[in-house]
């Protein structure tokens, strides 16, 4: 992977491993190259192939950088830097969270202990508290996350919660509500499923679904297909 000229791109980092990949890019674990202007420590670089994105996807990638640069909270993943390299990739440098995410934690708990080996109540309450603290902060500056789910909740080495993935987040004015249907179906609030205007309560609903899943080791709303999931959510069953 060639680095751009000058100590402003990949030459500031040593690539250690690829820890994730998707249709439009990869996520790399890197180490700061101090001899070339990099800061010490390990970080994550989300590498997005900008040239392969459609307009909607490009907007989401740029939006994530814009939102992350605004945020500073102990329960939100830290933004550090971004750059575009010679191969046309947008690279977003973020805090490394070695504890994985809540989805991995739930899956591992079920695999090792079965679906009745629940997490301790105080651990669930502590995670819920941190998630709500993060939401109090982002909602206070008129930002909706819009895709809260276990896979978007990272954990530090000490188990501190870090919300990530602000790609489809939205900034609101005092009087405007969001209307676009976005997010992961299992965690959508009823008003989003019904294509009604929505606001910060939809994020709170998603946190409730995440905490239910953490406590019960199963989703709050689950069915054989997505239409059936939406029906369960809107009927309150």
**Active site members:** 147
* CA nearest neighbour of 77 among 46, 109, 123, 108: 46
* CA nearest neighbour of 209 among 225, 224, 229: 229
* CA nearest neighbour of 98 among 188, 152, 181, 160: 160
Q: Would you say 26 and 47 are in contact if contact means Cβ atoms under 8 Å apart?
A: yes
Is 162 known as a binding-site position? no
Q: Would you say 63 and 112 are in contact if contact means Cβ atoms under 8 Å apart?
A: no
Contacts of 136 (CB under 8 A, 6+ apart): none
Q: How far is CA 136 from the centre of its chain?
A: 16
Beta pairing class for 153-155 and 143-144: unpaired
- Collapsing DSSP to helix, strand or coil, 126 comes out as helix
What DSSP designation does 101 have?
A: B
d(CA 150, CA 81): 25
Q: How far is CA 33 from the centre of its chain?
A: 26
Q: What is the DSSP string of 21-61?
A: EETTEEEEEEEE-GGGTPPSSEEEEEEEEGGG--HHHHHHH
Binding residues: 46
Binding residues for ATP: 46
């Amino acid at each position: 992977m060639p680095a751009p000229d000058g100590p402003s791109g990949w030459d500031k980092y040593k690539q250690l491993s690829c820890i994730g990949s998707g249709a439009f890019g990869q996520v790399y674990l890197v180490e700061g190259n101090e001899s070339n202007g990099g800061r010490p420590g390990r970080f994550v670089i989300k590498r997005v192939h900008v040239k392969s994105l459609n307009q909607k996807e490009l907007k989401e990638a740029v939006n994530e950088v814009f939102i992350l640069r605004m945020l500073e909270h102990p329960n939100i993943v830290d933004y550090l830097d971004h750059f575009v390299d010679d191969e046309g990739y947008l690279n977003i440098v973020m805090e490394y969270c070695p504890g994985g995410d809540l989805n991995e934690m739930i899956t591992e708990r079920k695999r090792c202990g079965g679906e009745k080996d629940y997490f301790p109540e105080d651990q669930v309450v502590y995670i819920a508290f941190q998630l709500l603290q993060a939401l109090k902060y982002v909602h206070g500056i008129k930002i909706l996350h819009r895709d809260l789910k276990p896979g978007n909740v990272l954990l530090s080495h000490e188990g501190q919660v870090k919300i990530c993935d602000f790609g489809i987040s939205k900034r609101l004015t005092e009087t405007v509500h969001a209307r676009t249907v976005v997010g992961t179906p299992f965690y959508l609030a009823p008003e989003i499923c019904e294509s009604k205007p929505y606001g910060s309560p939809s994020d709170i609903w998603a946190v409730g679904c995440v905490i239910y899943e953490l406590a019960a080791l199963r989703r709050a709303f689950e069915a054989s297909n997505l239409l059936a999931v939406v029906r369960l959510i809107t009927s309150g069953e």
